[in-house]
Amino acid sequence: MPAPAIASGSGSTKPIFPADQLRTWIRQLLATTLRDVVYDHAHPGRMKDLSRGLSEKIKSQMLTLQPHSFKYIITATLTENKNQAGRGDLVCHWQGTDVAVQEMFSNDSIIFVVLAVAVRVA
C-alpha cells in the first residue's frame, strides 16, 4: 500500500487522508455485501446489525489506511427502498487535509448511504 500523500505548508508536513483509496474500497464493500439484501421488517435488529457492521468495517479500513493524525466519523443510513426521493448535504469548515467520502448503494429493496469523514488532528 503506498504511503499517504503529504501536504506542505509553513515548512511542516501534514498527512493527507487517501480518500480515493477509501472510496474504491467502500464501493466494493457495499456492492459485495448488500447486493442481495432484502429489507427485513420481521427482524429490525438484523438491519441495525448490518448497518453497524458496515460502519465498523469502514472505520477499520480508515485506521488501516491512516492509523495516526486523524479522527474518524462514519454515519450510515439504511432505509427500505420504496422509490422515494431523498437528499443529504454536508457543509464543513476545515483544513485542506480533511476529507469526506460519501457512497451510496441501492437495490430493489434497500438504500444504503455512508459518509466517512477524516479530520486531521495533529
CATH number of the domain residue 87 falls in:
3.30.1140.40
Per-residue model confidence as pLDDT tens digits over 6-32? 555 555 678 889 999 999 999 999 999
Asked if residue 87 is part of any domain, the answer here is: yes
Count of alpha carbons within 13 angstroms of residue 108, beta-carbon side: 1
Q: Residue 114 is part of which domain span? A: 6-120
Asked if residue 1 is part of any domain, the answer here is: no
Q: Would you call 48 helix, strand, or coil by DSSP?
A: helix
Q: Is the sign of the CA dihedral 91, 27, 51, 63 positive or negative?
A: negative
Per-residue model confidence as pLDDT tens digits over 60-99? 999 999 999 999 999 999 999 999 888 888 888 888 889 9
Asked if residue 41 is part of any domain, the answer here is: yes
Asked if residue 77 is part of any domain, the answer here is: yes
Cα of first residue to Cα of last residue in the chain, in angstroms, is 22
Q: In total, how many domains does the chain have?
A: 1
Supply the pTM of this predicted model: 0.87
